Structure 1
Amino acid sequence: MPHLTPGPSGTYASTPSTQDDSDIDDTQELLLRSRHHARRFFTGFLDFAFKGNVLEIAFGLILASMFTAVVTSLMTDILLPPLSVILPLNKNLEEKFAVLQSGESGKGAVYNTLKQAQEDGAVVMAYGVFLNRVLNFVGVGFVLYGMAWGYQLASKDPIIKRTVKCRYCRKEINEKARRCVECTSWQDGREDRHF
Structure 2
Amino acid sequence: MKKFFKEFKEFALKGNVMDMAVGVIIGAAFGSIVTALTTDFINPLINSIGGASFGGKIHLPWSGTGENAQYLLWGDFLTQVVNFIIMAFCIFVMVKAINKLTSLGKKEEVKDPTEKECPYCFSKISIKATRCPHCTSELK
Distance 1:132 1:51 in 2: 37
**Residue segments in structure 1 that go unaligned for 5+ positions in a row:** 1-37, 105-119, 159-195
Residue in structure 1 matched with residue 57 of structure 2 by the alignment: 97
User: Aligned pair count?
Assistant: 102
Question: Closer, same or farther in 2 for the Cα pair 1:44/1:152, shift >3 Å?
Answer: closer
The equivalent position to 1:125 in structure 2, one of 72, 86, 92, is 72
* Bigger relative contact order, structure 1 or 2 (CA pairs below 8 A, ≥6 apart): 2
Contact 1:100 1:123 in 2 (8 A): yes
Higher fraction of helix: 2
Partner AA of 1:131 in structure 2 = L
Trace 1:84-163 onto structure 2 (pairs within 5 A): 84-89=47-52, 91=53, 93=54, 95-101=55-61, 102-104=64-66, 120-151=67-98, 155=101, 157=103
**Residue segments in structure 2 that go unaligned for 5+ positions in a row:** 105-140
Off by >4 Å, runs of 4+ in structure 1: 149-153
Residue in structure 1 matched with residue 107 of structure 2 by the alignment: none
Deviations 1:76-134 (A, max 9, x none): 21222111110121x3x2x2111112413xxxxxxxxxxxxxxx321211111111111
Q: Which TM-score applies when normalising by structure 2?
A: 0.62
Contact 1:75 1:136 in 2 (8 A): yes
Question: Closer, same or farther in 2 for the Cα pair 1:44/1:147, shift >3 Å?
Answer: closer
Question: Closer, same or farther in 2 for the Cα pair 1:76/1:49, shift >3 Å?
Answer: same
Distance 1:57 1:99 in 2: 42
Shift of 1:149: 4.2
Residue in structure 1 matched with residue 41 of structure 2 by the alignment: 78
